Structure formats: C-alpha cells, structure tokens
Amino acid sequence: MLSLPLPVLAGLILTPLLISAGQILFKLTSARVGDVGTASLIAIMFDPYLIAAFAIYGIGTVVWVYVLRSVPLIVAYPFMALSFCAVPLLAWGLLGETLSFRYAFGATLIVAGLIVINS
C-alpha cells in the first residue's frame, strides 16, 4: 500500500472532499438563481454559497499544490476519483437526492480501483 507522510495522505483525501463540498455549494447556488439576465448574473456573483464554493475550491487548490510537491501526479491524481463517491453521498445526505444500488456498486469499484493502483 502507499506509504506517505500523514499530512500528504490527508491532503490526497482532503482535496477531493473540498471539491465535493464546492459542488454541493454550486448546487445550492443554482437553486437560488432566477432567469438568466444581467441582474441575475450580477446577483449570483455576490451569492454567499457561490463565494464559499470559490473559497473552498481555492483552499483545495492550495492543498493540492502542497501534495504535488511530494507525490508524482500519476500517484496523486487517481485520488480525485473520490469526488465521484463523495458528491453523491453529500447530495443524498444534505440535499435529499436519491442513491441507487448502481451508484453504490460503482463507488465500490472506484475505491477498489484506488486500492489496486496504490498497492
């Protein structure tokens, strides 16, 4: 299995989780957006959810750059697939969206793939 310092491993896991949180905030922003128009576009730029999403993406980017200092991209990048597991889980838990058996099976395959890649 992958042997990395704890802060680097934490960064590998934290980055896709931050990206996933940003996606939930984007979805919450979209629910507050009216018809597309100049006033709507100006209003969305100051939406607190959108601003928070950008801030979280920014933090995620800084963490990712820190991780890439000590891990080859070919090792680090597969961890981004965790967002494909986390976003639907967060959407289910926070937004009440529905999960299916197919999702659970696919998420299991993603995690298994990460284990295989890093073994």
Give CA–CA dist 118/77, Å, rounded: 11
Task: Give the number of domains in the chain.
Answer: 1
- pLDDT exceeds cutoff 70 at 61: yes
Does residue 63 fall inside a structural domain?
Answer: yes
Does residue 113 fall inside a structural domain?
Answer: yes
CA quadruple 65, 83, 112, 7: dihedral sign: positive
pLDDT in tens, 1-14: 568 899 999 999 99
The mean pLDDT value for 49-76 works out to: 96
pLDDT in tens, 69-117: 999 999 999 999 999 999 999 999 999 999 999 999 999 999 999 999 8
Which of 56, 47, 50 has the alpha carbon at shortest distance from 20?
56
Give CA–CA dist 54/73, Å, rounded: 23
Cβ atoms within 10 Å, residue 30: 12
* Enclosing domain of residue 82: 6-117
Q: pTM for the whole thing? A: 0.87
pLDDT band, very low/low/confident/very high, at 118 (cuts 50, 70, 90): confident
Does residue 24 fall inside a structural domain?
Answer: yes
Does residue 91 fall inside a structural domain?
Answer: yes
Which of 5, 8, 20 has the alpha carbon at shortest distance from 95?
20
- pLDDT exceeds cutoff 70 at 38: no
User: Which tokens sit at 79?
Assistant: 């961890």
End-to-end CA distance of the chain: 4
Helices and strands per DSSP (H, E), number in the chain: 6, 0
